[in-house]
């Protein structure tokens, strides 16, 4: 087995026990990334110099007999909307230029404290707005199972990097499905944690009440290891919830007697055949394991979640992106005759078309004469959606549903129908509206070779149980393999 093929736990153990050095591990992973990048474009900024320096430091600490942490010497990839001190951070947008943050995102500080080293900053949809990883100022990322298909978005680069074995773990952010959907498309595991469980400090915001950072990996156990490190109360993040403790030690869950729900309103919706087949397969697996399959009703979710989500997300995007003015950092122009002209020129040239369309929509939605009709109404619907989920979890332990109704589409396919792309988020975005945890798990490969993933949703703060259920499903279904086709 090549070093770059190792999962997170085995890679850390190998460095700790001196089977190989941290530098050898980093060089193997970086060489793998370099060989795949011309086809995948999963990274915006490879960090060879920073990563090798970090690996050498880990090796020196091991030589001195020091504890290097649970991730000592293991390379990781970070989505490029996570701040990294002194390392270019762009959010895949021209408007940030070559900005190098003066501080680290809390999640990166925690990973560094656990011994991880940085392999690179991952490509993404600009400001996390999109579901293909095609809305990037640096060009689209590709799916490592078939480079003519999208890897999903907005964390497409993170998912592709893990699937192609650049690194055993990556971080993404999930505002409406941006971890779970690319995890499903690329055949890896991805967790959107409960809102407030993982710090958002140092995340370049899209929708502040919806954004949540989470890990992607090739095993559920690796997600659990990452979460054990990432889950800390952070006073720098006003949404971080204090006074809670969680045990992410892997324990396969006995599914006998567990109540797994299907959403009644979703049963009439059309699914592509491989996804429908995967739903049927997992349902049989759960029944054979002794789980009780039942139905729950989510009528408000089915009817209003998409419009509610986009009203809130676009309104928050309008507010969050007001700060990009070309004065303090990032892209600027030199020939504007006044501040108004400069703002117009910077924002017109610096933002991509999808971001501009969402800013304009958010401006309209929050305009004083429309605010009550749209934004305020959406906040009320969001409350109803959260209550509807809470009621559903009174009778169910988990909800099983697709991540998307279709397999990964070909590159450019969804560009022809933006609304179809928005509507495909129906299965993921309600989880963000209600602040729930959602696990995207690998099931199988379709006849086309593309991965098929499904989603398991839990009640708020049930993340450890959700992952333990995922661990049992992984044992039954098998772990995903590394994508090698055409790379």
Catalytic residues, by residue number, are 79, 154, 178
Burial label for 277, CB within 10 Å (0-12, 13-18, 19+), is middle
The pair phi, psi for residue 53, each rounded to 5°, is -65, -40
Q: How far is CA 39 from the centre of its chain?
A: 22
Torsion region of 355: left, alpha or beta (phi above 0 gives left; psi -120 to 50 gives alpha): alpha
Burial label for 422, CB within 10 Å (0-12, 13-18, 19+), is middle
Spatial contact of 74 and 119, defined as CB atoms under 8 Å apart:
no
Spatial contact of 374 and 365, defined as CB atoms under 8 Å apart:
yes
Q: How far apart are CA 316 and CA 331, in angstroms?
A: 22
Q: How far apart are CA 206 and CA 173, in angstroms?
A: 10
Spatial contact of 209 and 201, defined as CB atoms under 8 Å apart:
no
Cα–Cα distances (Å) from 60 to 24, 54, 66, 299, in that order, read 13, 10, 9, 58
């Amino acid at each position: 087995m090549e070093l770059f093929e190792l999962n997170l736990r085995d890679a850390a153990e190998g460095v700790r026990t001196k089977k190989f050095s941290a530098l050898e591990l980093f060089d193997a992973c970086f060489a793998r990334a370099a060989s795949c990048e011309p086809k995948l474009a999963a990274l915006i900024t490879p960090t060879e110099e920073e990563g090798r320096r970090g690996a050498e430091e880990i090796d020196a600490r091991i030589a001195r007999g020091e504890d290097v942490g649970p991730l000592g010497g293991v390379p990781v990839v970070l989505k490029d909307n996570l701040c990294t001190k002194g390392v270019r951070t762009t959010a895949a947008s021209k408007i940030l230029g070559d900005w190098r943050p003066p501080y680290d995102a809390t999640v990166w500080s925690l990973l560094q404290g656990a011994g991880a080293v940085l392999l690179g900053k991952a490509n993404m949809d600009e400001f996390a707005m999109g579901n293909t990883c095609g809305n990037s100022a640096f060009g689209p990322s590709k799916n490592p199972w078939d480079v003519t298909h999208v890897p999903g978005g907005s964390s497409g680069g993170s998912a592709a990097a893990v699937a192609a074995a650049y690194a055993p773990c990556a971080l993404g952010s999930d505002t409406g499905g941006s971890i779970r959907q690319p995890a499903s498309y690329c055949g890896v595991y991805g967790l959107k944690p409960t809102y407030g469980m993982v710090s958002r400090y140092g995340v370049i915001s899209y929708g502040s009440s919806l954004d949540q950072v989470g890990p992607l990996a090739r095993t559920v156990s690796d997600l659990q290891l990452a979460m054990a490190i990432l889950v800390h109360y952070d006073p720098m993040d006003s949404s971080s919830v204090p006074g809670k403790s969680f045990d992410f030690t892997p324990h396969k869950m006995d599914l006998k007697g567990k109540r797994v729900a299907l959403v009644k309103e979703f049963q009439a919706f059309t699914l592509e055949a491989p996804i429908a087949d995967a739903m049927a397969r997992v349902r049989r697996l759960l029944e054979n394991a002794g789980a009780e399959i039942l139905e729950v009703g989510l009528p408000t979710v089915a009817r209003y979640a998409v419009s509610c989500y986009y009203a809130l997300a676009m309104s928050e995007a309008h507010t969050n992106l007001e700060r990009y003015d070309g004065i303090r950092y990032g892209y600027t122009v030199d020939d504007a005759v006044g501040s108004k002209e400069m703002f117009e020129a910077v924002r017109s040239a610096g933002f991509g078309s999808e971001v501009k369309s969402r800013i304009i929509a958010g401006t309209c939605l929050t305009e004083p004469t429309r605010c009550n009709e749209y934004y305020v109404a959406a906040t009320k619907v969001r409350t109803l959606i959260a209550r509807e989920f809470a009621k559903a979890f009174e009778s169910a332990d988990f909800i099983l549903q697709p991540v998307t109704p279709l397999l990964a589409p070909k590159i450019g396919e969804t560009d022809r129908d933006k609304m179809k792309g928005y509507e495909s988020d129906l299965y993921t975005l309600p989880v963000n509206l209600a602040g729930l945890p959602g696990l995207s798990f690998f099931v199988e490969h379709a006849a086309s070779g593309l991965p098929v993933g499904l989603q398991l949703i839990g009640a708020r703060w049930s993340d450890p149980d959700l992952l333990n259920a995922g661990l049992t499903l992984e044992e039954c279904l098998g772990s995903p393999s590394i994508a090698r086709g055409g790379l």
